[in-house]
Amino acid sequence: MAKLKIAVLISGRGSNLQSLIDACADETYPAQIVLVISNVPDVMGLERAAKAGIPTTVVDHTAFEDRGPFEDAMNDALKQAGAELVCLAGFMRLLTDSFVDRWRDRLINIHPSLLPAFRGLHIHERVIEYGARFTGCTVHYVRPAMDDGPIIVQAAVPVLAGDDADTLADRVLAQEHVIYPLAVRLIAESRVRVAQEQVIIDHAEALGERMVNPKPD
Ligand code: GRF
């Protein structure tokens, strides 16, 4: 079966990109990365892509007067690469409604909290300050509002006594690296549908017994 062509949009470190690169290295994985776009030059994520032999493009937002032409440039690159699914992975620019609508249900994001709790930035600090006992991470379809949209996969992660933002971020990030490849795989296997703004996953009960919903193999 043909592999789903995905593009990954980054702004920095690219550890989630790396988890997708690693998943795609398995020949049975049903997706392939056809393009990595960064809006910031010289970031580690671009090196990771180059090392894996994946085409990269820098679309530097500072070179554009406003978001329209910046997004048009990204859109042209995505179309040219034949991307069928766009994965935001630490991409630190807000996208316009027009871009989001153009890629509706073909644009996903990973966010380091259990949405709809703790949208926005400085999440781990806020989770600790609030005293939450659980946090986690979410892969969701993107909608125009920030950190909003139908949820595909979540992993729950405990907040432990003595955690600071860094230790908690590390624990959450380890789960991000599990659920992003899982979400992409489910989509690539055509098991994911959006109905009335909720995600329905075929055969989700077959995914195992962990605190990940739906659970990884
Ligand atoms: C991750 O925590 C992701 O959830 C958030 O930004 C961070 C990106 O990290 N959206 P990396 O660049 O993938 O290492």
- Among the options 111, 124, 140, 177, which is catalytic? 111
Question: Average pLDDT, stretch 73-84?
Answer: 98
**How high is the pLDDT of residue 210?**
55
**How high is the pLDDT of residue 214?**
39
Atom of ligand 1 nearest to the CA of 109: 10
Q: Is the CB of 147 under 6 A from ligand 1?
A: no
Tell how far CA 132 is from the center of its chain.
Answer: 24
What residue owns the CA closest to ligand 1's atom 9? 90
**How high is the pLDDT of residue 1?**
79
CA of 66 relative to ligand 1 center, distance in Å: 24
CA of 14 relative to ligand 1 center, distance in Å: 7
What digits encode the pLDDT tens for the residues 20-69? 999 999 999 999 999 999 999 999 999 999 999 999 999 999 999 999 99
Q: What is the pTM of this model?
A: 0.94
Q: Is the CB of 16 under 6 A from ligand 1?
A: yes
Q: CA-based angle 84:110:46, to the nearest 5? A: 70
111 carries an active-site annotation:
yes
Atom of ligand 1 nearest to the CA of 169: 2
CB 185 within 8 A of CB 29: yes
Contacts 24+ apart (CB under 8 A), 16-20: 16/89, 16/90, 16/110, 16/176, 16/177, 16/180, 17/45, 17/48, 17/49, 17/89, 17/90, 18/48, 18/177, 19/176, 19/177, 19/178, 19/180, 19/181, 20/87, 20/89, 20/180, 20/181, 20/184
Domains of the chain, first to last? 1-103 (3.40.50.170), 110-217 (3.40.50.170)
Atom of ligand 1 nearest to the CA of 12: 12
Q: Is the CB of 181 under 6 A from ligand 1?
A: no
